Structure 1
């Protein structure tokens, strides 16, 4: 017997069993193999491959006093987590301490919502970005926290939201508060990408002076020439992270080449290109720091390499 067609709205989105259109279907049809069951009382005829999609599906059955938190909140806020999204990652949800944790397959329940801010993101209740950063201190290392902190601070144009969230949070798992405090010392406003943050951590972690972030460079007439990722203005050195997307294609490469020619040949700046392997490969990281140090007039032997 051919399978009964779903009503048109149910073919394009997850739906709760209480949806008026779903109530027209038999129990057997709702148990059909073509319908995924992301959580109890929810079905979906479309694949749910991302955290955002699965959160939308789970929200159909989520109590009103619950919000998404931790890694799930970070993905909803599009924060730069160190690992890629995957369909088998659990969803994290939180409610206040007056209620029991949510217990469902594929979900990690937390408590303590009353100590966190809540906002709407992608139409869903989500723990605020600064409080999410603090929650991530439970599971991420210091560099990853700095990268995410840079992103949040740059969006807000201030580190104050992170500072205030840390001040409000009275209870944190052992070690996570210290990790957050240490990381906060290195969070800066101005980073345009996660890799720019990581490149900055490489050079300042070795003991080089802090650069300006995404700072403008002008010619003698005050005309804009470039915006440098990492700028040491006094020494006229600029570090440029060469991402795979931002500088892809012949036009982008030509613009980069023209800009570099003006900086180096006309204005006397030194441009240091930084690539992904310069950040993650120990040998190349050592050579990058040494190269930048020499351009800054610093003896590499004085650094932490």
Structure 2
């Protein structure tokens, strides 16, 4: 059996990006060339060679056939903004795209289309039209539990504190699904939490009656300024949430030294891990913090 000849190399421009049938025609490619094994078709009317798998790569591929007025939204927008999301949503491969009524939502394979009544604020992220982070947060109101909405809302404000008022406005948009849940979440969302773990510690303690802490607040030490995760300044108590342990050794060593310098300056430093937020560990943590700052 004769071996199939190698496909004719594509023009450089088409090797670097996803392209439409019109782009292929403009480059002088014959229809048969688009059926060769090196070309993938991730969406109807879209061709691509090379890497295709990351969220950004999939969005840029779909961008080829995206209509004016459409924008990446919901879970897809949250991830494109670099915000934390429940793992079940992070692993979803379908792209979420919104269009304002009376426009028709896309129905192609690999895309979940949404028709919304009010035009959302849209930003450009590396050439992709994406609903702004406050709008993406509000769009997930029907899908996330209350605490997940608070974690996500804290992350939105950590990335951009100027979105606090827009978040409140987004929760009040007419016909917004889950408006009551969004508005309830806003009562506990704060700016200053740098990670989901910090948000969960804050919620656990404050709901148990611990006074509201300052978040990542400035604490001056001799020769340096540090920013503990949670601070009760009048009691000279600082709480630090330790992540999953996969930190660089250099950062770990710096943190150990920083905690020591805080203690030398008369501060009590409480180190908390995810295990401290569950069951008996959570109750022990609450009692300890209340004894120090309550």
What TM-score does the superposition give when structure 1 sets the normalisation length?
0.86
Which residue in the other structure is 1:161 paired with? 166
Q: CA deviation at 1:245?
A: 6.8
1:3 counterpart = 2:6: yes
Contact 2:98 2:105 in 1 (8 A): yes
Cα distance in 1 for partners of 2:275, 2:35 equals 49
Deviation digits for residues 88-130 of structure 1 (CA, Å, limit 9, x no counterpart):
5211111111122211111111112634212212211111111
Gaps of 5+ in 1: 299-305
- How far apart in 1 are the matches of 2:103 and 2:257? 61
SS at match of 1:234: helix
The equivalent residue for 2:51 is: 47
Deviations 1:27-82 (A, max 9, x none): 23312333221111111222322222111110100111211111111111111112
Q: Distance in 2 between matches of 1:46 and 1:205?
A: 51
* Matched residue, 2:257: 258
- Take 2:244 and 2:36, find their aligned partners in 1: how far apart are those partners? 43
Match of 2:131 in 1: 127
Q: In 2, are the aligned partners of 1:51 and 1:85 still within 8 Å (CA)?
A: no
Hey, what's the Cα distance between the residues in 1 that align with 2:117 and 2:70?
8
Closer/same/farther in 2, CA of residues 103 and 231 from structure 1, 3 Å limit: same
> Secondary structure at 1:18's aligned position in 2?
helix
Q: Which runs of 4+ in 1 moved over 6 A?
A: none
Q: How many pairs are equivalent?
A: 288
Most deviating of 29-38 and 119-128: 29-38
Instruction: Note the aligned Cα RMSD (angstroms).
Output: 2.2
Counterparts of 1:1-305 in structure 2 under 5 Å? 1-4=4-7, 5-20=9-24, 23-83=27-87, 85-86=90-91, 89-112=93-116, 114-158=118-162, 159-167=164-172, 169-173=173-177, 176-219=178-221, 224-244=224-244, 247-249=247-249, 251-264=250-263, 266-279=264-277, 281-296=278-293, 298=294
Which secondary structure does the structure 1 equivalent of 2:105 belong to?
A: coil
Q: Does the 8 Å CA contact 1:7/1:21 hold for their aligned counterparts?
A: no
For 2:209 and 2:184, locate their aligned partners in 1 and report how far apart those are by CA, in whole Å: 16
Q: What's the secondary structure of 1:114's corresponding residue?
A: coil
**Residues in 1 aligned to 2:120 and 2:29: alpha-carbon distance in whole angstroms:** 41
Is the Cα–Cα contact under 8 Å of residues 94 and 112 in structure 1 kept in the other structure?
yes
Using a 3 Å threshold, how does the CA distance of structure 1 residues 233 and 91 change in structure 2: closer, same or farther? Answer: same
Distance 2:209 2:279 in 1: 16
SS of the residue corresponding to residue 102 of structure 1 reads coil
SS at match of 1:94: strand
Is the 1:14–1:42 Cα contact (8 Å) retained in structure 2? yes
CA distance in 2, matches of 1:202, 1:14: 47
Say which SS state the counterpart of residue 138 (structure 2) adopts.
helix
Three-state SS of the structure 1 residue aligned to 2:155 is: helix
- Give, in whole Å, the separation in 2 of the partners of 1:150 and 1:110: 25
CA distance in 2 between partners of 1:113 and 1:123 (Å): 25
Once the 2 structures are TM-superposed, how far is the Cα of residue 240 of structure 1 from its aligned partner? 0.5
SS of 2:175's equivalent? coil
